Amino acid sequence: MITAIALSLTLGSASDQAYFSVWMQGSRIGYSSYSSSHTTYQGKPAEKSTSKTELKIGLIGAQVEMTVDSDTITVNGKPVFMHFVQSSAGRKQIMDATFGTNDIQVSVDNNGTKTKQKLAYPKDGKIVDDPVTEFALNPTKAGTTKTFYILDPTTVSLVKNTAKLLGPRDVEVNSVSTKATAIQIDDPRMGTTVFMGGKGDIIKITTTIGMEMVPTTKADALGKVASDNQPDIAALTSVKPNVPVANPMATKTLKIKLKADNLPSIPNDNQQGSKKDQSAWIVDIHPTQLRDSKSISIAAAKAQKPDWVKPSLHIPATTPRFIKLAKSIIKKSTDVKSGALAIRKYVNDTMTPNAGIGVLRDANEVLDAKEGVCRDYAILTATLCRAAGIPARLASGLVNFDGNFYYHAWVEVWTGYDWLGLDSVPSNDFFTATHVKLSQGNVDSAFNFTILSNAHMDVIEQRN
C-alpha cells in the first residue's frame, strides 16, 4: 500500500525544478522533488524528467521509510525510456522500461532477482509520464475527460487512468485562499486532485486518503521528518463497520453492504457473492474451509489449471530451490488439500511479521529474510504451492482485525472443485468470512487493488 501511495505522488511538474512537502493529518511525512531538462536519446532531441519522493509513515505500529526515484525520457511527448528505483528497509526494486515500436521491454531487478517482461501497448489510450501536462499543453473546456495509462513499476503493469478538467476552483494553501484550475485524476489505486496555477505550475495536490502536497523551498523539503508518532496509514485507510463483528476469527458467514466512491466491481464466485445495490455492493461471504473440502490429486489439479502453476513476477515457481523446498514440505502428500495446508503451516511457522518493509519483494528475498507483511506471506505461499504443482493465485482485499477492516493479502488454491482461501498469516488454518476479496490473480492484477475512497460498510448478517 505504501508503495502505491508513493507512486501516486510522482506526478510531473511544468517547472524546471520544484519541491513539495507531503503532509497527512497535520504531520509532515516527506517530500517530492521534480526537475526537467533537455537531452538527446538515440541522436534525437528529447526531454528528461527526474523525480524523487521520500516518505516516512506508520504502518501497523511500525515505521516505514520509502524512497522512489524515477527518470523518464520522452521524444515528441512520448515516453521512450523509464527508470524507477524503489527502496525501503535495505530492499530495492529497479525497473527499466524501453518503449519499442511493437511493445515495451521491461527488466526488473528485485533485490538481485532479475526478470524480463514484455507489455503490449494499450489500444484505448496512450501511455504518459505526466497526465497534468496533457491539459496544460492542450487547453480544453471544463468537464473534458482524457483516458491514459501509467506504467506501474511495482507490479510492472499498465494502469488505466481517467483525468477530468474540473475548471476554476478556490483552494487553500498555507491558510491562504488561492484561485486555481483543478484536474481530477481517477486512478484505480488512489485518486488525486491537482490544482494548477496560471502558468501551469502545481500549487497543491490532494489525495482521496487525505494526503496533501504543497510547494516549498528546497531547504524545507529536505528538512528532517519526525521518526515517531507518524500517521498510521493502515489505520487511516481501514474501514469501520457500522456495528462490530463479534469474534471475527470464528466468523463462518458474513453479509455486508459496502459503498465507496471508487469501487466499480467486486469479484463474484462460489465463496463470495456480490451484487450491485444502487451505488453500493451487497457482498455475501461464505467460504468453504480447505481442511473440510474435497480435493483431487495435485497432478489432476495441475492439468485442470496449468496457467496457475506457471512462474510470474515475484513468483519463481519453477526454480530448483522452490521445487526442492516444496517437495520437502508436502512430503508424500498427493492431494491438493493436504499439500496446501502443509505449505500454509510452513510459511506461518517460518515467517515473522515486519511491517517496516515498504517494497514489493520476490519470493527469493522473502524466503531469505523470513519476515515481512501479509503480501510477502502470500507471495511465498503462492510460490511454494505452484512449485508443488498446486494451482494458486493471489488475492487482496479487506479483513477484520481489532474492530476495523484492514487491507490484506492471501492466496486461493484450486482444489479441483473450486478456488478456496488459504491465509498463512493467522496461527490456525481457519479461513474467516471477514476476508472481503477485491482483486485476484498474479501480482499485476491482485496487487493493483483500490484504496477505497469515502468507504462505508454496514454489517447485514453474521454467523459464527
Assign 3-class secondary structure to 94-144: EEEEEECCCEEEEEEEECCEEEEEEEECCCCCEECCCHHHHHHCCCCCCCC
**CB-based burial, 177-207: b 16+ in 10 Å, e otherwise:** eeebbbbebbbbbbbbbbbbeeeeebbbbbb
- Kindly report the CA angle at 357 between 311 and 328, in degrees rounded to 5? 45
Res 208: pLDDT? 86
What pLDDT sits at residue 14?
A: 47
pLDDT of residue 188: 84
Q: Which residues pair with 98 in a beta bridge?
A: 81, 105
Q: Which three cell numbers stand for residue 337?
A: 488439500
Q: How far is CA 227 from CA 55, 56, 224, 379, in A?
A: 11, 7, 9, 29
Q: What angle do CA 244, 249, 252 make, to 5 degrees?
A: 90
Core vs surface per residue 415-454: b (16+ CB within 10 A) or e: bbebbbbbbbbeeebebbbbbbbbbbbbbbebbbbbbbbe
pLDDT at 142: 84
Each residue's pLDDT, cut to its tens digit, for the chain (464 residues) gives: 555 555 555 555 445 689 999 999 889 999 999 999 999 999 999 999 999 999 999 988 888 999 999 999 999 889 999 999 999 999 999 999 999 999 999 999 999 999 999 999 999 989 988 777 666 556 578 888 888 999 999 999 999 988 899 999 999 988 899 999 999 998 888 889 999 888 778 899 999 888 999 999 999 999 988 877 789 889 989 999 999 999 999 999 999 999 998 898 999 999 999 999 999 999 999 999 999 999 999 999 999 999 999 999 999 999 999 999 999 999 999 999 999 999 999 999 999 999 999 899 999 999 999 999 999 999 999 999 999 999 999 999 999 998 999 999 999 999 999 999 999 999 999 999 999 999 999 999 999 877 898 999 999 999 99
Locate CATH 3.10.620.30 in the chain. Answer: 248-463
Task: Supply 26's cell numbers.
Answer: 497535520
Burial classification of residue 169, based on how many CB atoms lie within 10 Å of its CB (0-12 exposed, 13-18 middle, 19 or more buried): middle
Contact (CB, 8 A) for 9 and 221: no
Q: What is the reported pTM?
A: 0.93
Torsion over CA: 290, 291, 294, 295 (sign): positive
Matching residue, cell 526531454: 47
**CA separation for the pair 28, 213 (Å, rounded):** 10
Task: Determine contact, residues 351/357, Cβ cutoff 8 Å.
Answer: no
CB atoms within 10 A of CB 402: 8
Fold assignment, 248-463 = C8orf32 fold (3.10.620)
The CA-based angle 86-190-125, given to 5 degrees, is: 90
What is the DSSP annotation of 203-228?
Answer: EEEEETTSEEEEEE-HHHHTSPPPSS
According to the model, what pLDDT value does residue 151 have? 94
pLDDT digits (tens, 9 = 90+) for 188-213: 888 899 998 887 788 999 998 889 99
Per residue in 17-62, pLDDT (tens digit) is 899 999 998 899 999 999 999 999 999 999 999 999 999 999 888 8
Rounded CA gap, 72 and 81, in Å? 6
Q: What is the dihedral sign for C-alpha 377, 378, 381, 386?
A: negative
> What local confidence, expressed as pLDDT, does residue 136 receive?
59
